[in-house]
Amino acid sequence: MGRSPCCDGEAGVKKGPWTTEEDKLLMDYIQEKGHGSWRRLPKLAGLNRCGKSCRLRWTNYLRPDIKRGRFTDDEEKLIMHLHSLLGNKWSSIATKLPGRTDNEIKNYWNTHLRKKLLRMGIDPVTHRPRTDLSMLAGLPGLLAAAGNFGGSGAGTAAWDMNALKLQVDVAKFQLLQGLVRALTTAAAPAPAPGMDYLMELLAVSNGGQHGGVDQNILLQQCQWNHMNNLPALTSSAPTSGMHNISGLFDGFSAGDGLSSTELGGHGGASWSKVTVDPLMADDIECKNNGGGSVSCEQTPASSPFDGLESLNLMDDLNTDGGWKDLLEQISWLNSSEL
DNA sequence: AATAGGCCCAACCGCTCTAGT
DNA sequence: TACTAGAGCGGTTGGGCCTAT
């Protein structure tokens, strides 16, 4: 295969912005005769353009059913949701938004939505919480901002308020993920760098319940697994000694925008399917079935942030010796390049 | 008022896919 | 089956516009 682009070899063909005269020629021709073969169209329509350029101009600009103007909130949410399902399949996404072109949606994504997700700490490619440690390094600022809300949210859009709460929650989850990974890597022949510090950190970090997650349980579980040379986490096949790990999820409930579909992985304790879709995705509720079994089921989507209010995030974050301290120390760990 | 930097978006480029021969 | 033409798609670019200094 592989052939030269259609415009190659068409010397003297005009490029660049279209004039109103050219637009009129193209519109008149297509409205009268249809586009037919795009390759032959320019000649028939009296245009000094290549067929590809004509097609693009028509589909992206001149088509009569094109909707102009700002994207609505609903359109924005739909794009985000569809992108989480389809990825950069702009043409497929465009079919669900009447009057919008793939090019327009692509541009809007790259200039607005992508940045919006990044600000929320969500990876715009995977639609999951960003896993790079630079996010954890920025947590102190995030926590400070969260603390400044003071619960009133005055002057702040509800969306931003909820997004920030979600971001904090995601950060908590990521922290757990990182901790478990760091700790359970000890099952490998060479302990992970910094593991000793993390163990110590957990030991001195109050050891109590934080956001429904008992750090002692976490620590004990990891130690137990280490001693018994077991996979760090498992999603099925109840394993003796795994009965405590389900407690990790007590703080995350259906509807809080944070969910997990595969609580599994081996050795590296990869909780690979943690999904955060604050907009449209159905919730996935994880349950402790006892005996070390954790099951997850999809529940109908409700309001994206239902359940957030019940998490007592601010109390949780501002408690001395609580998550705030822990996160700050973790960010220090990161900046020290362990 | 001038200018630098960032943003936005129409248009182009190059690749893949599909249908026809 | 192999090849080609045509169409479509996603990534990238360039220039105009806007905003901050």
Please write the tens of the pLDDT for every residue from A1-22: 333 344 554 567 888 888 888 8
Report pLDDT for A170. Answer: 52
pLDDT, position A65: 82
Structure confidence at residue A221 (pLDDT) = 38
Q: How far apart are CA A14 and CA A207, in angstroms?
A: 71
Instruction: Enumerate residues near strand B (beta carbon within 7 A).
Output: A 1-3, 5, 7, 14-18, 52-53, 56-57, 60-61, 103-104, 106-108, 110-112
Q: CA of A139 and C1' of B6: distance in angstroms?
A: 27
Nucleotide C8 C1' to residue A57 CA (A): 14
| Through-space separation of residue A98 CA and nucleotide B5 C1' in angstroms | 36
Q: Is the CB of A36 under 7 A from strand C?
A: yes
Nearest to A171 by CA among A129, A214, A114: A129
Cα–Cα separations (whole angstroms), residue A333 to A100, A178, A213, A222, A336 = 46, 12, 21, 20, 5
Of residues A106 and A313, more confidently modeled: A106
Q: Give the mean model confidence (pLDDT) for residues A66-74.
A: 85
Run of H or E including A283:
strand A283-290
Q: What is the pLDDT of residues A150-176, one digit of tens each?
A: 333 333 344 444 555 555 555 555 555
What pLDDT is stored for residue A36 in this prediction? 83
- A177 confidence band (pLDDT: 50, 70, 90): low
pLDDT at A10: 54
DSSP string, A24-72: HHHHHHHHHH----TTTHHHHHT-SS-HHHHHHHIIIII-TT---SPPP
Contact A220, A241 (CB under 8 A): no
Measured CA A15 to C1' C14 distance, in angstroms: 13
**At residue A298, what is the residue type?**
Q
What secondary structure letter does DSSP report for A19?
P
More confident residue, A24 or A199: A24
Q: Which tops the pLDDT comparison, A279 or A166?
A: A166
Of the listed ranges A165-174, A258-267, A321-330, the least confidently predicted one is A258-267
Tell me, in Å, how far CA of A325 is from C1' of C20? 38
CA angle A252, A257, A258 (to 5 degrees): 50
User: Distance (Å, rounded) from C-alpha A249 to C-alpha A246?
Assistant: 6
Nucleotide closest in space to A54 (CA vs C1'): B11
Phi-psi category of residue A303: left, alpha or beta, with phi > 0 → left and psi -120 to 50 → alpha? beta
From the CA of A17, how many Å to the C1' of C15?
10
The proportion of chain A whose per-residue pLDDT surpasses 90, expressed as a percent, equals: 1
| Strand B bases, protein C-beta under 7 A | 7-18
What is each CA distance from A233 to A183, A226, A248, in whole angstroms?
12, 11, 11
pLDDT, residue A236, reads 29
- Residue A126 confidence class, pLDDT cut points 50, 70, 90: confident
Among A65-74, A164-173, A301-310, A312-321, name the one with the lowest average pLDDT.
A301-310
Residue of A305 and A103 predicted with greater confidence:
A103
Q: Calculate the average pLDDT of chain A.
A: 55
Mean pLDDT, rounded, for A50-65: 87
Give the pLDDT confidence of A226-260 residue by residue, as tens digits.
Answer: 433 333 332 222 332 222 233 333 333 333 333 33
Task: With a cut of 60, say whether residue A208 has pLDDT above it.
Answer: no
Average pLDDT value for residue range A202-221: 35
pLDDT at A162: 52
The gap from C-alpha A237 to its chain's centroid, in whole angstroms, comes to: 29
Higher pLDDT, A190 or A143: A143
Q: Give, in degrees to the nearest 5, the angle at Cα A42 between A108 and A14.
A: 70
Q: For residue A41, how many other CB atoms are within 10 A of its CB?
A: 22
Decide which of A331 and A36 is more confident.
A36
As ranges, strand C nucleotides with an atom below 7 A of a protein CB are 4-12
Phi, psi of A208 (to 5 degrees): -100, -165
- The CA–C1' separation of A27 and B20, in angstroms, is 29
Alpha helices in chain A (DSSP H): 20-33, 41-45, 51-57, 73-86, 90-95, 102-108, 114-119, 133-137, 139-148, 158-184, 195-204, 215-228, 313-318, 323-335
Residue A29: CB atoms within 10 Å = 20
A52 touches strand C (CB under 7 A): yes
